A = this chain, B = another copy of it.
Amino acid sequence: MSSSYDNWQCPLPISDYPKILLAHGGGGRLMHDLIDHIFIAAFGADTLDAEHDGARLDPGSDKLAFTTDSYVVHPLFFPGGDIGLLAVYGTVNDLAMCGARPKYLSAGFILEEGLETETLWKIAVSMRQAADKARVGIVTGDTKVVDKGHGHGIYINIAGIGIIEHNLVIGPRRIRDGDAIILNGDIGRHGIAIIAAREGLEFETTIESDCAPLADSVMRLIDDGIEAHCLRDLTRGGLATAAIEIARSSGTEILLDEKSISVNEQVRGACELLGYDPLYIANEGRYLAFVPKHQAQRALEIMREATPNIEPAIVGRVGAGGDRGEVTLKSAIGSERILDMLSGEQLPRIC
């Protein structure tokens, strides 16, 4: 679902400058106006420390996760989200995949001269709403403005700090023979939503991005005692690339069962039309959890409770034969093939 921008009125003093100028990044009066009237207004003065270039934190734990991601998606707004919401959820999800509870975010903006100020405001509001939903604070930030023709409206970097409240070690090397592989929902919606918006493709109904924060789902698994061995969100390169990366770093054999991998009918149709393989399409709200086989049913239930609107499924297992570092897909008709990494991606700039 899209953010509801209508609740928030763009603060008036900024509308004196309907477009971003180079001077908005120059450290002077206009930059201070931008910070006060857009960023502090949207993100809240309580968290964003305007007196400093940095935030002082007291996370209450000394085991932390730290991550960064830049977002260059185009178009800036697409069915189901926008670059701001995507940026917040993307970084929150990277922290969740480390088994960390996301807590603090930074926001670095690279604005292109000439960007509509109203657009920046909408994106900032969307970021605040996404941060509230994911229960994180945007605590520090930075703004640069580049000359027209050297950007694409707006690029956003979000770094994040999360706290690790447990003693599980989560990572590919923890994967064991026989582990069940669970996928939390259908795949391919984000990539197809972006390409449709970019190319003006129309389908019977609008395909919305799957953009969503994953931390709640992951925290529920861990709090319930599920021994998650490895967690991975399925962004650039999609499910196939994530599985291949994990197989290689763990040196295990991953077996995936195509017919248990859910793909929305319209996404499947779009992929056939465009010649894409849904296994390689980016998602922004989907992840794989590798869990011990005996906990798989319980993990499924927890994931279903966390996000009742999508249906998790066991989509594969770690091969008992072990150590091949490969991913084998059993197709819907029963044949088997080894999945390989693409050199790039089918769709650039989807995040």
Point out residues on A near B: beta carbons under 8 Å. 21-32, 50-72, 94-95, 97-98, 100, 104, 106-110, 139-142, 144-147, 149-152, 155, 157, 159-162, 164, 171-173, 233, 235-237, 241, 245, 249, 282, 341-345, 348-349, 351
Are A100 and B23 interface neighbours, CB within 8 A? Answer: no
Among B31, B142, B235, B282, which residue has its beta carbon within 8 angstroms of that of A69? B142
Knowing A27-B241, A66-B139, A142-B70, the reply to whether A95 touches B54 (Cβ < 8 A) is yes
Are A161 and B107 interface neighbours, CB within 8 A? Answer: no
Knowing A146-B152, A149-B149, the reply to whether A68 touches B159 (Cβ < 8 A) is yes
What B residues does A23 contact at CB under 8 A?
343-345, 348
Knowing A27-B236, A236-B26, A349-B146, the reply to whether A344 touches B21 (Cβ < 8 A) is yes
Knowing A70-B108, A97-B54, A98-B52, the reply to whether A28 touches B139 (Cβ < 8 A) is no
What B residues does A141 contact at CB under 8 A?
68
What B residues does A62 contact at CB under 8 A?
58-62
Among B22, B139, B233, B345, which residue has its beta carbon within 8 angstroms of that of A348? B22
| Shortest CB distance A229–B (Å) | 13
Knowing A29-B342, A64-B59, A157-B108, the reply to whether A53 touches B94 (Cβ < 8 A) is yes
Are A52 and B173 interface neighbours, CB within 8 A? Answer: no
Are B28 and A348 interface neighbours, CB within 8 A? Answer: no
Q: List 24 A-B contacts (CB under 8 A).
A: A23-B344, A25-B236, A25-B344, A26-B344, A26-B348, A27-B235, A28-B341, A28-B344, A29-B343, A54-B98, A55-B67, A56-B100, A58-B62, A64-B161, A66-B104, A66-B139, A68-B140, A68-B141, A70-B110, A70-B144, A72-B110, A72-B144, A145-B348, A150-B152
Given contacts A26-B344, A53-B233, 7 further A-B contacts (CB under 8 A): A25-B348, A28-B237, A51-B173, A53-B94, A64-B161, A145-B348, A146-B349
What B residues does A69 contact at CB under 8 A?
53, 108, 142
Considering the complex, give the chain B residue whose CB is closest to the CB of A99: B56
What B residues does A155 contact at CB under 8 A?
110, 144, 146, 155
Q: How far is the CA of A162 from the CA of B282 in the complex (A)?
A: 34
Interface of A is mostly: mixed
Q: How far is the CA of A104 from the CA of B160 in the complex (A)?
A: 12
Q: How far is the CA of A141 from the CA of B66 in the complex (A)?
A: 10
What B residues does A345 contact at CB under 8 A?
23, 26-28
What B residues does A341 contact at CB under 8 A?
28-29, 32
Are A159 and B106 interface neighbours, CB within 8 A? Answer: yes
Q: How far is the CA of A64 from the CA of B237 in the complex (A)?
A: 35
Which of A57, A108, A235 counts the most B-chain CB atoms under 10 A from its CB? A108
The list of the 6 closest CB pairs from A to B, nearest first, reads A23-B344, A27-B236, A26-B345, A159-B159, A27-B237, A54-B67
Considering the complex, give the chain B residue whose CB is closest to the CB of A22: B348
Are A58 and B54 interface neighbours, CB within 8 A? Answer: no
What B residues does A172 contact at CB under 8 A?
51
